[in-house]
């Protein structure tokens, strides 16, 4: 079993705050459509997978799950104040399910090439997130929610691929080098 360093309280707080801010921003931005295929929330949400993947790579699954739980609690509480209840609850369910899936898939693939774990975990989790979120938040409502869901998923997948660059740059710099067995 690989032993990981524990995050400092500041590292943990920074990751949890980043997670909460990404989810809160996405819950607000999803209310603003760009067109019949896309909302602004599609561009911000994939950063949540980057946060959890960075924490998972450096500190392992237990701290990554704790960051997801804290980010979930803070984001849902704030979203209940700043977004419609249906969006806040749908986001919370989609977020926690997709983050826990992302963390689990990432952990199973971590020993492969540096890009495989974050890419596969993000792509699979983004599909789950989109299905749960759009089905609950907008399912059965007026508006082109089905095309928004498809457009949102397409952007999440594309941004997930683009997030590989900051992931690669950050895994050895700002977070410190990961344990040798996890590279």
pLDDT at site 2: 72
pLDDT at site 182: 44
- pTM of the full structure: 0.88
In a domain, 35, yes or no: yes
CATH number for 29: 1.10.1760.20
Q: Mean pLDDT, consecutive 10-residue segments, the chain of 183 residues?
A: 87 94 88 90 91 95 96 87 89 94 96 93 95 91 89 93 93 55 44
In a domain, 1, yes or no: no
Q: How far is CA 83 from CA 39, 60, 168, in A?
A: 15, 32, 33
How many domains are contained in the chain? Answer: 1
In a domain, 142, yes or no: yes
In a domain, 163, yes or no: yes
In a domain, 180, yes or no: no
In a domain, 157, yes or no: yes
In a domain, 183, yes or no: no
Do 117 and 53 touch, CB atoms closer than 8 A?
A: yes
pLDDT at site 139: 86
pLDDT at site 72: 86
Q: Quote the domain boundaries for residue 154.
A: 9-174
In a domain, 3, yes or no: no
pLDDT at site 167: 93
pLDDT at site 173: 62
pLDDT at site 1: 62
Q: Tokens 């599609």 label which residue?
A: 42
Per DSSP, the three-state class of 172 is coil
Do 93 and 132 touch, CB atoms closer than 8 A?
A: yes
């Amino acid at each position: 079993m690989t032993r990981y360093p524990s995050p400092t309280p500041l590292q943990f707080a920074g990751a949890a705050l980043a997670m909460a801010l990404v989810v809160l921003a996405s819950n607000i931005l999803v209310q603003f459509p760009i067109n019949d295929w896309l909302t602004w929330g599609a561009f911000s949400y994939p950063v949540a997978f980057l946060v959890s993947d960075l924490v998972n790579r450096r500190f392992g699954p237990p701290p990554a799950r704790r960051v997801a739980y804290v980010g979930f609690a803070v984001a849902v509480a704030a979203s209940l104040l700043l977004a419609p209840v249906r969006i806040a609850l749908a986001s919370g369910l989609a977020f926690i399910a997709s983050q826990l899936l992302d963390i689990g898939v990432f952990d199973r693939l971590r020993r492969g090439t540096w890009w495989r774990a974050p890419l596969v975990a993000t792509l699979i989790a983004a599909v789950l997130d989109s299905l749960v979120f759009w089905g609950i938040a907008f399912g059965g409502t007026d508006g082109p929610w089905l095309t928004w869901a498809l457009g949102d998923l397409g952007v999440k997948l594309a941004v997930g691929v683009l997030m590989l660059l900051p992931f690669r740059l950050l895994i050895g710099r700002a977070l410190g080098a990961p344990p040798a067995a996890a590279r």
